[in-house]
């Protein structure tokens, strides 16, 4: 059994053509979503895609033996920093609806993870109705959280700031985890969005570890994408902080979080598991996505993370079962 907690929706091109129109007229022509058919949505998962190595979404999942994948919005598409806020809300709602329809069409393969309308032109309380709708009405199992809704244009409140407390309260009330995953990155930023993901996840962990969030919300569950940004691999820089003034050891604090295995080398995955523990790790691939290219050195897809895990000799059978499905089943109440 393999449960992949890090997947993104494959959607008909008509969805993104509508988004392009929204960005062109900024809502002046209304924000009515396109009428997508079930056939269009099915085809998005079965048709070969040049971005995914010229094979389909299902080709990747079947080849990797993935039984259940969590679908969330494609983060770089979410345009949280665009204006006016109504186009962010409209696009987020429609993407969530497409995810829900994907789950309904393929109920044995997918579970929904919601996007939020994270426009900083809205009070955070206005993000929450869509969270509640997707969880209570659509049956989503979690929510994707962007720690930088400005997408590089300004400095947002750090995740330890009380700004985020209404969201933490809602997540605890609904009993669903947040999956920490940054979104786009706009000029004049120095980095592309893929590097921005890693940087924001790193800053997000640092902020949470230096805050009262898990003291104030002990039942809050957060999964950090891409193996926790840079933190598990630079953890030595933070260990002294746990010695100063009798503070909680840093590795102990780090285990307040969960981490996915969306890392494309065996060494990185092993270091993650040794740093945070197998019990805090969840299998995740982002497949198909950035890693969906063939590695000429091995002939494998870079995002064949199941094969990288298979190659870790020191994992016990119990470790493998927990990592590949058990931890996700418990955390997300599957």
Q: What is the pLDDT of residues 130-185, one digit of tens each?
A: 999 999 999 999 999 999 999 999 999 999 999 999 999 999 999 999 999 999 99
- Concerning whether 173 is annotated as a catalytic residue, the answer is no
Render the burial of 260-277: b for 16+ CB within 10 Å, e for the rest. Answer: bbbbbeeebbbbbbebbe
pLDDT tops 90 at residue 242: no
pLDDT more than 70, % of the chain: 100
- Sequence ranges of the domains in the chain: 3-331
Is pLDDT of 246 > 90?
no
The predicted model gives 287-296 an average pLDDT of 94
- Helix 13-25 × helix 85-105 angle, to 10°: 170
Active-site residue among 94, 286, 313, 329? 286
pLDDT over 80 at 245, yes or no: no
Query: What pLDDT is stored for residue 243 in this prediction?
Result: 82
* Per-residue pLDDT band at 322 (split at 50, 70, 90): very high
Q: Give mean pLDDT, residues 82-108.
A: 98
Structure-model confidence comparison of residues 165 and 53, the more confident one = 165
Asked if 148 contacts 196 with a C-beta cutoff of 8 angstroms, the reply is: yes
Residue 46: which pLDDT band, with cuts at 50, 70 and 90?
very high
Would you state the pLDDT for residue 222?
A: 98
Topology classification of domain 3-331: TIM Barrel (3.20.20)
Q: What is the pLDDT of residue 112?
A: 98
pLDDT (tens digit per residue) in 96-120: 999 999 999 999 999 999 999 999 9
**Per-residue model confidence as pLDDT tens digits over 193-237:** 999 999 999 999 999 999 999 999 999 999 999 999 999 999 999
Give the per-residue pLDDT at 289: 94
Looking at residue 189, its pLDDT comes to 87
HEC secondary structure over the chain: CCEEEEEECCCCHHHHHHHHHHHHHCCCCCCCCCCCCHHHHHHHHHCCEHHHCCECHHHHHHHHCCCEEEEECCHHHCCCCCCCHHHHHHHHHHHHHHHHHHHHHCCCCEEEEECCCCCCCCCHHHHHHHHHHHHHHCCCCEEEECCCCCCCCCCCCCCCCHHHHHHHHHHHHHCCCEEECCCCCCCCCCCCHHHHHHHHHHHHHHHHHCCCHHHHCCCCCEEECHHHCCHHHCHHHCHHHHCHHHCCCHHHHHCCCEEECCCCCHHHHHHHHHHHCHHHEECCCCCCCCCCCECCCCCCECCCHHHHHHCCCCCCHHHHHHHHHHHHHHHCCC
Return the higher-pLDDT residue of 51 and 57: 57
Report the b/e string of 205-220 with b at 16+ CB within 10 A: bbbbbebebbeebeeb
Q: Return mean pLDDT, the chain.
A: 96
């Amino acid at each position: 059994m393999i449960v992949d907690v890090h997947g993104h929706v494959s959607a008909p091109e008509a969805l993104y053509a509508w988004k392009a129109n929204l960005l062109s007229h900024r809502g002046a022509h209304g924000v009515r979503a396109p009428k997508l058919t079930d056939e269009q949505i099915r085809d998005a998962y079965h048709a070969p895609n040049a971005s995914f190595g010229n094979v389909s979404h299902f080709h990747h999942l079947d080849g990797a033996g993935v039984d259940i994948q969590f679908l969330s919005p494609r983060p770089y598409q979410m345009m949280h920093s665009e204006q006016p806020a109504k186009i962010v809300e409209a696009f987020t709602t429609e993407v969530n609806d497409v995810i829900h329809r994907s789950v309904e069409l393929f109920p044995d393969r997918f579970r929904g993870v919601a996007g939020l309308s994270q426009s900083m032109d809205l009070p955070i309380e206005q993000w929450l109705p869509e969270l509640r709708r997707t969880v209570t009405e659509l049956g989503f199992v979690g929510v994707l959280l962007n720690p930088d809704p400005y997408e590089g244009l300004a400095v947002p409140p750090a995740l330890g700031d009380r700004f985020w407390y209404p969201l933490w309260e809602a997540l605890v009330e609904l009993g669903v985890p947040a999956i920490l995953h940054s979104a786009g990155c706009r000029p004049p930023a120095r980095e592309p969005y893929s590097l921005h993901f890693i940087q924001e996840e790193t800053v997000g962990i640092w902020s949470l570890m230096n805050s009262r969030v898990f003291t104030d919300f002990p039942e809050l569950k957060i999964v950090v994408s891409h193996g926790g940004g840079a933190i598990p691999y630079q953890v030595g820089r933070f260990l002294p902080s746990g010695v100063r003034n009798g503070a909680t050891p840093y590795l102990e604090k780090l285990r307040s979080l969960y981490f996915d295995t969306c890392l494309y080398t065996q060494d990185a995955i092993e270091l993650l598991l040794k740093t945070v523990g197998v019990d805090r790790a969840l299998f995740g691939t982002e497949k198909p996505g950035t890693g969906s290219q063939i590695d000429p050195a091995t002939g494998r897809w870079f995002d064949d993370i199941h094969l990288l895990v298979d190659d870790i000799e020191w994992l016990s059978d119990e470790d493998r079962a927990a990592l590949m499905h058990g931890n996700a089943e418990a955390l997300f109440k599957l």
